[in-house]
Amino acid sequence: MCPMYSSRFGYALSNGTVGVYERMSRYWRIKSKNLAMSIHAFDLNSDGVCELITGWSNGKVDARSDRTGEVIFKDNFSSSIAGVVEGDYRMDGKTQLICCSIDGEVRGYLPSSQETAGTLMDTSVEQELVRELSQKKQNLLLELKNYQENSKQAELRPQVSEPDGQMGVIPANTQLQTALSVTLGSETQAAHVELSISTSNDTIIRAILIFAEGIFEGESHVVHPSAQHLTGRIRVPISPPKDVPVDLHIKAFVGYKSSVQFHVFELTRQLPRFSMYVLSNPATAPEPVSHVTFTINERVQRVSVACCT
């Protein structure tokens, strides 16, 4: 955690989440596959408000607006960031943002002037775009290579019983479906929200990873059924501690029982604010035996709205 100003503070979690809170209200958050190694509050664009500076495990440094989380500056080191601080490094009376990598590389950044604050991203956006496109190219080439190898193996082994299951090939129309329901509980199990995750055909789910803030210990939950209980549907009980909406980031490994390679499906499902509440049945509810009478000088419509809220 790091203080921003007033009652606002920035935070980073071990699962790659970074964000800003104003007292109990969350302004924004982002999730990354990389880990935040260091965070610091620094006014990099000279607008009088500190941005949240984050140094990442992949060597990236970014500055995000405290209000929206929008990236206003990026830079990249060749190794993981070790620390982010500020100081008058050149002893000229000007405070700099100082970033250091685990390889010992140190870079300093002076706050931009008011005239150049709007073009702060221009110096690095082109470099960042090239880097992202190169990474996408490598991922696509690797995916193409895997498909080619699987195709060759399928040609050499046409006798596979399940349709190319061992090679990781699944039907192109395979979808991952989710559903939420409330379970009132029993003597052996407390009431909870049940998240049902299933496939749209005869494929099975080998494992599920769920990332959610404030619900699971460590912010994540893994379901890994044994080989004897593999099915195309997995039910996960969820007990939210507070009545707040939460995004469930789900990753599922899908294939066949004989598969040694699995497809990864990713989706996000929101857990509603009052997901633990269900409508009661008026027929089973006891009628009240007492009452109160009072006068309200308001229109009926306004009274109805107030009762509903």
Tokens of 101: 């990598």
Task: Give the separation between CA 275 and CA 246, rounded to whole angstroms.
Answer: 10
Tokens of 148: 């080619």
Mean pLDDT of all residues in 234-253: 87
Could you tell me the end-to-end alpha-carbon distance of the chain, in angstroms, rounded to an integer?
Answer: 35
- With tokens 């405290």, the residue in question is 66
pTM over 0.85: no
Q: Looking at the predicted structure, is the pLDDT value of residue 197 above 90? A: yes
Cα–Cα separations (whole angstroms), residue 279 to 182, 184, 276, 282, 284: 11, 12, 10, 9, 12
Task: Give the separation between CA 247 and CA 86, rounded to whole angstroms.
Answer: 34
Residue 150: what pLDDT?
A: 64
| Per-residue pLDDT tens digits for 32-89 | 889 999 999 999 888 888 999 999 999 999 999 888 888 888 899 999 999 999 998 8
225, 234 contact by CB (below 8 A):
yes
56, 100 contact by CB (below 8 A):
no
Q: List, in sequence order, every residue forming a beta bridge with 255; answer none if it has no partner.
A: 204
272, 245 contact by CB (below 8 A):
yes
Cα–Cα separations (whole angstroms), residue 214 to 166, 211, 255, 296: 38, 10, 31, 42
pLDDT > 70 in the chain, percent? 85
Mean pLDDT of all residues in 146-167: 57
Reported as a pLDDT band with limits 50, 70 and 90, residue 156 is low
Alpha helices by DSSP H, the chain: 122-156, 300-308
What secondary structure does DSSP assign to 134-186, as a single string? HHHHHHHHHHHHHHHHHHHHHHH-TT-SSTTTTTT---TT--EEEEEEEE---
Domains, the chain, in order of start with CATH, read: 2-117 (2.40.128.630), 165-271 (2.60.40)
Residue 11: what pLDDT?
A: 93
Instruction: Name the average pLDDT for the chain.
Output: 82
For residue 75, what is the enclosing H or E element?
A: strand 71-76
Classified as helix, coil or strand, 305 is: helix
Task: State the sign of the Cα–Cα–Cα–Cα dihedral 120, 76, 268, 165.
Answer: positive
Task: Give the separation between CA 210 and CA 220, rounded to whole angstroms.
Answer: 6
276, 243 contact by CB (below 8 A):
yes
The HSE-up count of residue 98 (CA atoms within 13 Å, CB side) is 12
- With tokens 């408000």, the residue in question is 49
Residue 128: what pLDDT?
A: 63
